[in-house]
Amino acid sequence: MSMQQYIDEAESVLLHTYNRYPVVFESGEGVYLKDTDGKNYLDFCSGIGVFALGYGNQEYNDAIKAQVDKLLHTSNYYYNVPAIEAAKAVLKVSGMDRIFFTNSGAEAVEGAIKAARKYAYLKDNTTDHEIIAMEHSFHGRTMGALSVTGTPKYREAFRPMIGNVKFAKFNDIESIKAQLTEKTCAVMLETVQGEGGIHPATKEFLQAVRDLCNERDILLILDEIQCGMGRTGSMFAWQQYGVKPDIMTSAKALGCGIPVGAFLMTQKVADHSLVAGDHGTTYGGNPLAGAAVCKVMELFEKKDVLNNVVSVSSYLEEQLDALKADHRDIIDRRGRGLMQGLEFDHPVGDILKRALEEGLVLINAGTNVIRFLPPLVITREHVDEMMMILKKCI
């Protein structure tokens, strides 16, 4: 069938909850995708930050295939070796103490919310505790994750939300203080806001939030689903700020294609929150997901991914800054590592469509920001290729 026939079939059977671009991808190799008509595309989206190692990595593929032939699922009534090894590997690079594997980022956020509320419940045996989240944040589409997502348009049609959630201004500690009550149990934020327009937390802000939480025994929850797993040049973005969360969430590049997420916590929170029967999942931490996470952790170290991010991202920033200097309609360039955004004074939809036609995959963050989330194994040559196409499209 032609690509258009595939698209027509998809529109006749799939629930229309996505405004998809008119392309059907069939395969990938390195940092390139290929559609069903055989056209190649340079990928600066990586499945919204998922394919950190690029496509067709043979060692990764072999690890997945080997696990498929051994065991895919047992349920969490039983232990499995890949999940145990994956847990040890993630805890080692994060410095956290306990982990719960989920199937997605949204599920990780749900678990983090439950852990925070249970922690507060055990302190005073009441259930009216409040969470302070950030305006313009994005944490997922399930009801709990949606409740702490600070963009009203996402929540409006699905009210009532879970309740007792307040919103403060990102990078404004006084705004958080203004929302505090004796019932506040957690402050939740993305270390780098993704969907909200690529806004990194300032060091002063995040340290002030940490201090505030310490003073009041409030839990700090950091969402690292998009900005974590090496994207900013450290395994998790918060590791560059001199702070540590009480609970953190992870997903996307954690499995590099296999659906897996996680929420992690300190031992203090683990000792005073969720216990047997409080939380669960049928598929979370299954052997296939565990094998994927183990191999991802191994390859991050073997390929020296973090140093590559630091090296290439500095070059990407230079090129984007030069582009901004040449175009008055580009308002700002911001981000950390290989999580960058270009803000325009107009919608960027037409630029993204033209880029796709020219063989470059980019996505937006809001209506007027182009978001750059390439695989973490890109080279400067790939940046040059991307810039050549982007200049033409602008």
Please tell me the distance from the alpha carbon of residue 49 to that of residue 375, in angstroms, as a whole number. Answer: 7
Average pLDDT, consecutive stretches of 10 residues, N- to C-terminus, the chain (394 residues): 94 95 97 97 98 98 98 96 98 98 98 98 97 98 97 94 97 98 98 97 98 98 98 98 98 98 98 97 97 98 98 98 97 98 98 98 96 98 98 97
Please tell me the distance from the alpha carbon of residue 248 to that of residue 115, in angstroms, as a whole number. Answer: 11
Please tell me the distance from the alpha carbon of residue 133 to that of residue 290, in angstroms, as a whole number. Answer: 31
Residue 156 dihedral angles phi and psi, to the nearest 5°: -55, -50
Query: Using an 8 Å Cβ cutoff, are 242 and 203 in contact?
Result: yes
Predicted local distance difference test score (pLDDT) of residue 315: 98
Predicted local distance difference test score (pLDDT) of residue 99: 98
Q: Could you give the residue range(s) of every CATH 3.40.640.10 domain in the chain?
A: 71-302
Please tell me the distance from the alpha carbon of residue 296 to that of residue 133, in angstroms, as a whole number. Answer: 31
Six token digits for residue 53: 């190692």
Close Cβ partners of 154 (under 8 Å, ≥ 6 residues apart) = 138, 141, 146
Query: Using an 8 Å Cβ cutoff, are 201 and 192 in contact?
Result: yes
The CATH architecture that domain 3-57+304-393 belongs to is: Alpha-Beta Complex (3.90)
Q: Could you give the residue range(s) of every CATH 3.90.1150.10 domain in the chain?
A: 3-57+304-393
Predicted local distance difference test score (pLDDT) of residue 120: 98
Instruction: Please state the pTM of the whole predicted model.
Output: 0.97
Domain 71-302 belongs in CATH node 3.40.640.10:
yes
Predicted local distance difference test score (pLDDT) of residue 271: 98
User: Please, which residues bridge with residue 219 across strands?
Assistant: 186
Predicted local distance difference test score (pLDDT) of residue 255: 98
Predicted local distance difference test score (pLDDT) of residue 356: 98
Predicted local distance difference test score (pLDDT) of residue 154: 93
> From residue 207, how far is each of 172, 241, 250 by CA, in Å?
12, 7, 21
Kind and range of the H or E run holding 123: helix 105-124
Query: SS3 for 168?
Result: strand
Please tell me the distance from the alpha carbon of residue 249 to that of residue 363, in angstroms, as a whole number. Answer: 23
Query: SS3 for 331?
Result: strand
